[in-house]
Each structure stands twice: as C-alpha cells, then as structure tokens.
Structure 1
C-alpha cells in the first residue's frame, strides 16, 4: 500500500493499492520507516505496475520517501525482473512527522479533477525531478531471481555508506525532511546501536522514578523481593494512599520493557492496588532499593546468523497466591540467544498438583510460541524450525506427550490440552531442563541474591553503563 494521508471526517488512513488500482480507507496501518525505497516503472511492464527496489539502510531511522514515475516513460530503463524482498533486520523507530509519500494511479480509477492529497506535491512535479533524485548504483539494479539472502548480500556490498549518504542528500534537497540518524531514545527507552549488537536500557527513566518518589538516596539491595515473601490482601493492615501506590506500580510496570528480572516482584505488588497497606508498600520500597543498585541494567541483542531458531522456557510455582490459591506461570522466549518475549502472570484456574500447574503454564507458553513462530515467518519470509519448549517437570512432559498417561488429567480444562495437539503435529518440541537452568524460574518466585544473579545472566540482563565497553 502507498500512504496518501488521513481521510477527511475521520481518523482512518487513506491508502492506495497499486496492484488493484484502488483507494482504500483503513484504521489499521503499519508504517515501515527503517528502509529507503524508490519506484521504478518500465515500458516493458505489461501490467503497468510499479516495481520496488530496496536500499539496505542498516538500522537507519530515515523516513520513507517514495518517488513516483508513470509507466511507459521512454527515459526509464527497468530491470527485466522485479524483486520485492521484505527481509531486513530493523530496530525500533519512532514515526516521523516529516515522512512524505507520493503515489501513482491509473486514469481509469482517478477522477479528472483529482489533484492529489492535501499537503502533498503533485505527481507531475515529483516526476519532473525523478531522474535527478533517484541516483541508484547500477550494481543495485542487478536482477536477483534467487533467494532473498542473495539480494541482501549483493545490496549490502553495493550500497556502501557513501552512496547511502549521497542518496540522503539528494532526497533532502528535494523534499522537506531531515536525517535524524540512528535511533537513540524512544519513549523512555535508551537505544545504543553498535556494529554487531543493540543495547536497550531505561536508566534515565529509572532515575526519574527514584527521584519522584524520594528514593534517589536510598540504600541499594541485591534482590527486589525477599525470598519466601508471601503477600496477601492484609485486611487488618493499615491502608495507605491508593492513588500514590497505583502511580508507583504503573511507573514500575513500564520498566519491564527492559527489565525482566523485575517482572515477578512488580506483578505480585500490582495484585493489591485495590486496597494497599503498609505491608505492600514495604515490598514496593524494596523494589525501588533494588532498582537503585541496578539502575544501568538492560538487555543486549546480538546480531545472529541468517538461519535462526526460537526456543523458550516455561515454569510455574504451586499455589503461590495465598488469597485464591492460584499458581503463577512464567515463560521466556529467545530468538537465537536474545530474549524477545517474557511474561509472569497468575493462572486463571486453581491447580491440584505441581504437574497440573506446569502443564497449564506450558500450554499458555505453547500458544505464545506458535504466535512468535508465525510472526517471525511473516517478517523474514523463512519458515522457522519447530519451537523447543523447556520444562523442568517430568510428569508434565509425560502428560503432554501421552494423552492417556494419567487418568486423573480428565478434570483439567480441555483448553489446556491444546499443547498435546501441538506436540503431535511437531509444532512444539518439549524437552526437560534442570531447575538450576530453568530461565523462567525468576518469573515465578522470589530468589536469593546469588541465584537471582545467575538467572539474570541467563535471561540476558547486563549492566550497561554508558562507559562500559
């Protein structure tokens, strides 16, 4: 789709489908801003459709600018084959208000009085300067009819930094746009992009939290929650300001984007926002003291090989919730060795045994694993291998692989037997892992300082001080 702007009278997006030659109005639109595109339409194209050539921007945070050419122009020489690769590694980016786009549409589908979207340049004006704007290296125009990886390797070699910078200058000279460089800060998340890795942390945001709640000078501690801490509603306890407590919990929950080691403790504290007491406030202060000592901690994403794999860990405690006797599930998923998704959540059903609690946790993790596998396939165009799920309960694994292993499993809700079907179809591979190597263990219970440090290392949380190499 080509973005035309906002539809008058509503908040929907106006889009143009070049294949069908139709305009569409939709509230859902995903904007790709980390790559630079140019359009090239040729006289030899029978359907008179635009062809796309992508220039590898290497984590660039540049907005998209599409230059338009009408089909059938003699001065433009098209390649004999159109290549539309959609596989590229990107970093998080912020939508830019300076992103401009131009479109082409056939005369049969556009009224004669149509002059283009408001605040956009006319097609004739854009086309008049197209040949001077699009300075594409001839090597990039190579016909790539093989696998997408071949195109990526050729484009990486041809599009050197000098050519990319030259192209940027040509675009900025013609359009109202600016080069913001690599993404470095996004909604409180600090991003440091290096040659072979990306660092994510929220140090500045963590300092603001400590300062706002008058904990900037507190003493640091080694763990966010004391081991074997058991919280409950505390109906006889002295209540505190619920509004202030909820505000603090909300701030801490936003830190979980880069701090999976805080997921369990913050999740436990957030269960008592209805009527918080002094007991709950002490737990939150403990989290802030731990944050004080780990203020520069964050996640590291290392550049991996072209062939990737997805694997995850699933764990559960047993009846950790003293009020409803429900268990807490934890899961962590990795793309190669980089943590990409994690969760710590109270189960919706009471489990009668540790086997049942682990079984229900693994089923929830299996659903998430299939979604990650589908997402990775859409982004890369490559079908990943079956997802491996590591569980530290042998009875639960036997129950997943053998539907008639336990007669007592009949009482388990049928929705939790979904993982059996996934295992039978080969979509999920379940393997046993020792509790000491169970990376989701930190998401289900409060750990001691030494074990917490080991689990934090396995999760991929590192001390990312700015001066650190």
Structure 2
C-alpha cells in the first residue's frame, strides 16, 4: 500500500505527508490508525478489510491494557482495570491504601537474612507492575528498585512490593492527561541522578523524562552501569543517558511528521556536570570517565542538545531517582501530568 517502516521505531509505519499523512502503529494483529484526513483513514481501513478478516473497533478506547479516553482537546491514558488485576494477583484487593509507593530512605540488599519467599510469585507481581509503568511514571523508581531482587527475594523485598500495591490501591484512577497546545511544541528534558543509592553495588540511579510541549512523552528510571566517584560524575552519566533518548525522540518526531524539531533542551540541577559537558575543565576529576559517557559533550558542541541549569526544587526527574515523601510526591506527580481521571 506504499507505507514506509519507521527507521527509529520498527512498529510504526507512515504514508504521505501534510494533509494526506497516515501513521499506523502495529502490535501483532492490533493496529492503531491516525492521520490528518478522515477520508484517507476510511480508504485505508476499507483496503485492509478487503485483504484480511478485520474488525473496526472505532475510536481508540482500549489498547493492550491501556484505557484511552478522547475528548475535544484532550486525551487521557490509564490502566485502572489492569491495576485491579494486579491487586487481586497479590491478594491485596480491598487493602488499606498508602500515600507513597515506597518509604523514604528505605535501603534493601540482595544478601537479606530474612525468610525467602516464592520467587515465581514475586517475579509475577514485579513483572506486572513493570507493565503498569507505561502510564504511571510515579511508580517507575519503586518498581525498578524492587526489580533488583528477582533472583532471591525475601519477606523484606516482598514487603516493599506490597507497599507499592497499597499505594496503587489508593491511586487506581490516576493516569496521564494530554491536552492540545497551540503554537510549535518543543522537546524539553530533565535529567537527574542519586548518589550510591544501591547498597549492593554502590551504583546510582538515573532518572530522565521528556516533554513535548506540556505533555510527558518519555520517562526512564534505571540503575547506572558504572560506579560514580562523585555527584558530578553521576549527573554527567545521567546526562549521557538522557541525550541518547533525546536524539531518538527528536528523530522519531521528524520521521513521523516530516517537521524539523528545534534543539532539545536538557535541564540539569548540577552546575559541575553542566560545566563538564561544555568543556573538560575538571580533567583531573573526569579523566577516568569512560569515553562513551562523553557523548553528551559532542551533542552540546554540535548544537543538537542545549543544556540548562535549574534549581533542585524544579528538577522534575527527582521522582525517578528516589523515594519521595507524601507532599513532595504529590507535587511532582501533578507537575509531570499525572492526575485522577474519573469517567463521568
């Protein structure tokens, strides 16, 4: 039919441009179809029905466990039904809710002396929670943290998982809300890191998230692969991770819509890391850093990424690097676009 597979995201196909643009998202035999011209969409669906046995389910409302609600000027995504199934799986349906997914300053390790629990059940729960993170970035750090103990989980680790489930019970209807914006939307990213947060390896956690306009479109909370010797180095490594994600997003956007993206702005709350990204001024403190982590410097020099300092209080990626208290979590949750979505 003349569609081209996207080189940056293999599940995406596009055809045409401008008013004739059609974009198809494919997962096995499930298709999401979007485009500018409704008539073009209808023609495509008719051709597909002639070729395959297919059902037209109309306006997207449910896809791979994600509940979608579309209205004039906004789209919401949530996984309430799926979240309830996880609570039932963990035997926590009807439990008392918690205000945060993890206790502040909680430290767990792989060599726990507590009683071991059924590893299959533990992995099933954590795996289910990982899929829930697709619409719940507020769970990303806590779920990533408990994922580190899949090999030999104990009652201490299971207790942390149950805390996540209790938080989930109190936020079942929470999800992401995307609103229509006027003018040219631009990519803005936030990059952050903790320092030696992992007890077993002394490695740090990288947190990065990206907004297109005011809408959160990508987030990541992941343990770094190297041990950092300073907060500057930890933030610098996190910036490199964010830079690779930023370039992928901007290139995907260009390929899908055929519109050039302005320079991606990356916001960081560590001045030393920003200085290091612009100029190797601290050579004696950074000469041991692996070459691949200097990728961010090349991006800054060529102008594909613009770095900017922000105060720690405005670092939205903080929610992806550590367990926050009730007040801070609620504030950050609101600022990144997570809200309670009630069906009226």
**TM-score, normalised with respect to structure 1:** 0.66
Q: Give 1:237 shift.
A: 1.7
- Which of 395, 400, 425 in structure 1 is aligned with 2:277? 400
Task: Select the structure of larger CA radius of gyration.
Answer: 1
SS in structure 2 opposite 1:330?
strand
Q: Distance in 2 between matches of 1:213 and 1:428?
A: 43
- Which of 287, 299, 302 in structure 2 is aligned with 1:422? 299
The structure carrying a bigger helix percent of its residues is 2
CA RMSD of aligned residues (A): 3.0
Q: Distance in 1 between matches of 2:58 and 2:224?
A: 44
1:297–1:462 Cα contact (<8 Å) kept:
yes
Matched residue, 1:247: 124
Matched residue, 2:60: 183
Q: Distance in 1 between matches of 2:233 and 2:74?
A: 39
The alpha-carbon distance between structure 1 residues 422 and 238, as it changes in their structure 2 partners (threshold 3 A), is same
The alpha-carbon distance between structure 1 residues 196 and 347, as it changes in their structure 2 partners (threshold 3 A), is same
Per-residue CA deviation, residues 38-58 of structure 1 (Å, 9 max, x unaligned), is: xxxxxxxxxxxxxx9x7xxxx
Matched residue, 1:440: 317
SS in structure 2 opposite 1:440?
helix
Per-residue CA deviation, residues 432-463 of structure 1 (Å, 9 max, x unaligned), is: 11111111001000000000001111111111
Q: Distance in 2 between matches of 1:372 and 1:344?
A: 17
Q: Give 1:96 shift.
A: 5.4
1:298-447 → structure 2 map (5 Å cutoff):
298-305=175-182, 307-447=184-324
Q: Give 1:174 shift.
A: 7.9
Matched residue, 1:108: none
The structure carrying a bigger strand percent of its residues is 2
Per-residue CA deviation, residues 313-360 of structure 1 (Å, 9 max, x unaligned), is: 000000000111001100001111111110001100000010110011
The alpha-carbon distance between structure 1 residues 32 and 397, as it changes in their structure 2 partners (threshold 3 A), is closer
Whether 1:260 and 2:137 are equivalent positions in the alignment is yes
The alpha-carbon distance between structure 1 residues 264 and 169, as it changes in their structure 2 partners (threshold 3 A), is closer
Q: Give 1:304 shift.
A: 2.6
2:269–2:312 Cα contact (<8 Å) kept:
yes
Greater relative contact order: 1 or 2 (C-alpha under 8 angstroms, separation 6 or more)? 2
Q: Distance in 2 between matches of 1:170 and 1:225?
A: 50
1:221-236 → structure 2 map (5 Å cutoff):
221-236=98-113
Q: Distance in 1 between matches of 2:294 and 2:55?
A: 53
Q: Distance in 2 between matches of 1:465 and 1:238?
A: 41
Q: Distance in 2 between matches of 1:91 and 1:169?
A: 11
Matched residue, 1:217: 94
**TM-score, normalised with respect to structure 2:** 0.89
Q: Distance in 2 between matches of 1:281 and 1:98?
A: 37
Q: Distance in 1 between matches of 2:340 and 2:138?
A: 13
The alpha-carbon distance between structure 1 residues 277 and 408, as it changes in their structure 2 partners (threshold 3 A), is same
Q: Distance in 2 between matches of 1:275 and 1:98?
A: 39
1:259–1:298 Cα contact (<8 Å) kept:
yes
Matched residue, 2:339: 462
1:265–1:446 Cα contact (<8 Å) kept:
yes
Per-residue CA deviation, residues 218-266 of structure 1 (Å, 9 max, x unaligned), is: 1001000011111111342211111110011011111000000000000
1:89-128 → structure 2 map (5 Å cutoff):
none
Whether 1:238 and 2:105 are equivalent positions in the alignment is no
The alpha-carbon distance between structure 1 residues 87 and 464, as it changes in their structure 2 partners (threshold 3 A), is farther
- Which of 185, 197, 201 in structure 1 is aligned with 2:74? 197
1:225–1:286 Cα contact (<8 Å) kept:
yes
Per-residue CA deviation, residues 93-145 of structure 1 (Å, 9 max, x unaligned), is: 7665899xxxxxxxxxxxxxxxxxxxxxxxxxxxxxxxxxxxxxxxxxxxxxx
Q: Distance in 2 between matches of 1:315 and 1:172?
A: 45
SS in structure 2 opposite 1:431?
strand
Q: Give 1:466 shift.
A: 1.4
2:24–2:31 Cα contact (<8 Å) kept:
no
Q: Give 1:177 shift.
A: 5.7
1:92–1:183 Cα contact (<8 Å) kept:
no
